[in-house]
Chains A and B, each alone.
Chain A
Amino acid sequence: MLARPGRAEAGTDPWSAPAPSFGLRWLWQYAQDIPRPYVLDCGPIRSATLAVLLGRSGRLYRGDLISPLKRPDLWDRTRKTPVFRTEALLSELPPVASASLSIVFCWHLLDLLPREALAEVLLQIHKLMESGGVLFCLLREPRLEKGADAEWELEGLTGLTRAREGVVAFPYPALSNREIDRLLPTGSVKTFLTRSGWREVLVVK
């Protein structure tokens, strides 16, 4: 099981021990021979996540690609059809040397990105990853209709929880594994299903 009820309910939750994430287990086992990996976290700041990743990272890069999606200036509305300004979003990434990152966490970023921005954002992240580097994405299954505002955090290296339950509907159709394969043709895609309507998708460069 990946997700479990929010923290407010944790005291009454019989399953209140940190829920193991099979994707994270695999990830850290895969990365065990990297003593100090360079890690990029692309989500909103969660102090718990930060504390966990700082304990394992050689260098932790942070650039929030999720919160800016709410900003109106990310859309060029001077045209007939609004155009998403992908370069403005990518400017939120910190300066990172190409091919230097061992691990990238995207949480459910790919569920929230406009379709026209997916390829460019993924390509940019892929460029920053070293050969053998792993992109960890949390993605919804098609049956999960709400949760766009869910917030995730690490309770440990292999314990992932929702810090906030999402109630907002997802703006775009769910991404399939085949679409991710197409977007990152040089990556090897691994998927771990959960019982909660989320998938953990790992792409190894």
Chain B
Amino acid sequence: MSIKGELSAKEDLVIEGQFEGTIDVAEHTVTVGAQGQVKSEIRARQVVVHGSVNGKITAREKIDIRRTGNVTGDLQAAGVAIEDGAYFKGSIEILREGRAEAAAPARPAMTPRVS
């Protein structure tokens, strides 16, 4: 099955076919199954990828890319786990709530020890 469009839901979602468009299930979990092929921006509470995703993924809690997962795109979440053997090309930004950046001292002189 192949679907194009905008998908929003108020329950967990499992995708096993082809989907192209946007997925918005901000309060629930999206699982892209091993046969799933998604070309889409995904917004969810949690995202689990066993199949293929091409697009930006934003999760309030966690993005989990399993061993068979293949993801190309940028990830933004409070937590990200990628299993050894998965494919991922892109960037990861961890959402840190209310964490102040501490002032840091100046860089040391560039004279490392050579042993």
Bitwise, A47-67 to B at CB < 8 A (1) or not (0) is 100110010011111111000
Task: Decide: B93 and A29 in contact? CB cutoff 8 A.
Answer: no
Chain B contact surface mostly: loop
Task: Decide: A54 and B84 in contact? CB cutoff 8 A.
Answer: no
Closest chain-B Cβ to A35's Cβ sits at a distance in Å of: 4
Contact partner, A54, options B89, B94, B115, Cβ 8 Å: B94
Complex Cα gap A132–B109 (Å): 12
Closest chain-B Cβ to A150's Cβ sits at a distance in Å of: 15
List, in ascending order, chain B residues with CB within 8 A of A132's CB. 107
Bitwise, B74-89 to A at CB < 8 A (1) or not (0) is 0000001111111111
A172 within 8 Å of B (CB atoms): no
A188 within 8 Å of B (CB atoms): yes
* Chain A interface residue number, banded: 35 or more
Closest chain-A Cβ to B97's Cβ sits at a distance in Å of: 14
Task: Decide: A45 and B84 in contact? CB cutoff 8 A.
Answer: yes
Complex Cα gap A114–B69 (Å): 29
Task: Decide: A22 and B108 in contact? CB cutoff 8 A.
Answer: no
A94 within 8 Å of B (CB atoms): yes
Closest chain-A Cβ to B78's Cβ sits at a distance in Å of: 11
Task: Decide: A33 and B105 in contact? CB cutoff 8 A.
Answer: yes
**Provided the pairs A30-B110, A32-B107, A193-B115 are in contact, do residues A45 and B82 lie with their beta carbons within 8 angstroms?**
yes
Complex Cα gap A38–B58 (Å): 19
Task: Decide: A26 and B112 in contact? CB cutoff 8 A.
Answer: yes
* Chain B interface residue number, banded: 20 to 34
Closest to A62 in B: B88
Complex Cα gap A60–B92 (Å): 5
Closest to A32 in B: B104
Complex Cα gap A64–B70 (Å): 13
Bitwise, B90-115 to A at CB < 8 A (1) or not (0) is 11111000000110111110101111
Task: Decide: B107 and A36 in contact? CB cutoff 8 A.
Answer: no
A46 within 8 Å of B (CB atoms): yes
Closest to B94 in A: A54
Cβ-closest 6 pairs across A and B: A33-B104, A35-B101, A26-B112, A60-B92, A61-B91, A190-B112
Chain A residues within 8 Å of B, Cβ to Cβ: 22-23, 26, 29-36, 44-47, 50-51, 54, 57-64, 92-94, 96, 132, 188, 190-193, 202, 204
A-B contact pairs, 22 of them (CB 8 A): A22-B115, A26-B112, A30-B107, A30-B108, A34-B104, A35-B102, A44-B84, A45-B82, A45-B85, A45-B88, A47-B84, A50-B92, A57-B92, A59-B91, A59-B93, A62-B91, A92-B89, A94-B91, A190-B112, A190-B114, A192-B114, A202-B112
